[in-house]
Amino acid sequence: MKISVITATYNAIDHLPNLVESLRNQSDKDFEWVVADGASTDGTLEYLQSITDLNLKVISQEDFGIYDALNRGVKASSGEFYVVTGADDILYPNAISTYKAAISDDVGIITANIDVGNFIAKPKEGMAWFYGMGAIVSGHSVGCCIRRSLHEKFGYYSRNFPICADQLFIGMVFKNQVPIKAVDIVVGVFELQGLSSIDVLGMLTEFYRIQVRLGLNKYIQSFLFMLRLVKNIKNVRG
């Protein structure tokens, strides 16, 4: 198995059908779908159990949030690479085939473009000091295909960063000069409904801490943190 799609869910029955339909519509159907569920009670599990036309594996137990769930999903997956999707995201029919065609022996992460609201997101190369993960990949969910064995070297998603653990992991891979390949093709839709869009203060704080942990200039990062706080003050909630 070359590619696994990994989705963390919790009471996601209202969102999953669009994702499921997009998986069914893949031009390359040679992939597995691993759902790491957080003990949903809204019919999510029953809905997933009704799906018989996808190579689906469901694991469900209480967890400590999305990255705890993703860690379980990564460990349960069998693909050499994996793609993360949210329950409300959509993969275009070319997604699996695009990622699979870009795989080579040396590459650690493949990133492709994603549709985010009113714009197409691409990596902002050369500006990791400012954009963090956004300078390396178009996005963690939908926008990158990750070699699973990288977690053996750099660890799994950290519980210390419940909102931005993906930023730390991708940043560590980049810092250690693992080859990352960019493919200039749009592979899906990322929905802006996640925790990082809701808990703005938490997201900004974790992003700042991660940038400093990755060894970027703490004085510049502190200045940028203050600027981002001022810019987003209307969206900060207690």
> What was the pLDDT predicted at 238?
60
CA distances from 190 to 33, 84, 154, 217 (A): 18, 11, 26, 31
- List the domains of the chain with CATH numbers: 3-194 (3.90.550.10), 199-238 (no CATH)
Helix, strand, or coil (residue 123)? coil
pLDDT in tens, 15-53: 999 999 999 999 999 999 999 999 999 999 999 999 999
Distance CA 227, CA 19 (A): 36
Are the beta carbons of 17 and 53 closer than 8 angstroms?
no
pLDDT, averaged across the chain: 95
DSSP string, 192-219: S-SHHHH-HHHHHHHHHHHHHHTT--HH
**What integer pLDDT is reported at residue 199 of this predicted model?**
84
Q: pLDDT tens, 141-196?
A: 999 999 999 999 999 999 999 999 999 999 999 999 999 999 999 999 998 765 55
Q: Taking the model in full, what pTM does it have?
A: 0.94
55-98 pLDDT, tens per residue?
A: 999 999 998 899 999 999 999 999 999 999 999 999 999 999 99
Q: What is the residue whose two structure tokens read 């990352």?
A: 180
| Residue 175 phi, psi (nearest 5) | -60, -35
Q: Report d(CA 166, CA 36) in Å as an integer.
A: 16
For residues 188-212, average pLDDT = 86
- What is the per-residue pLDDT for 77? 98
pLDDT at position 233 is 85
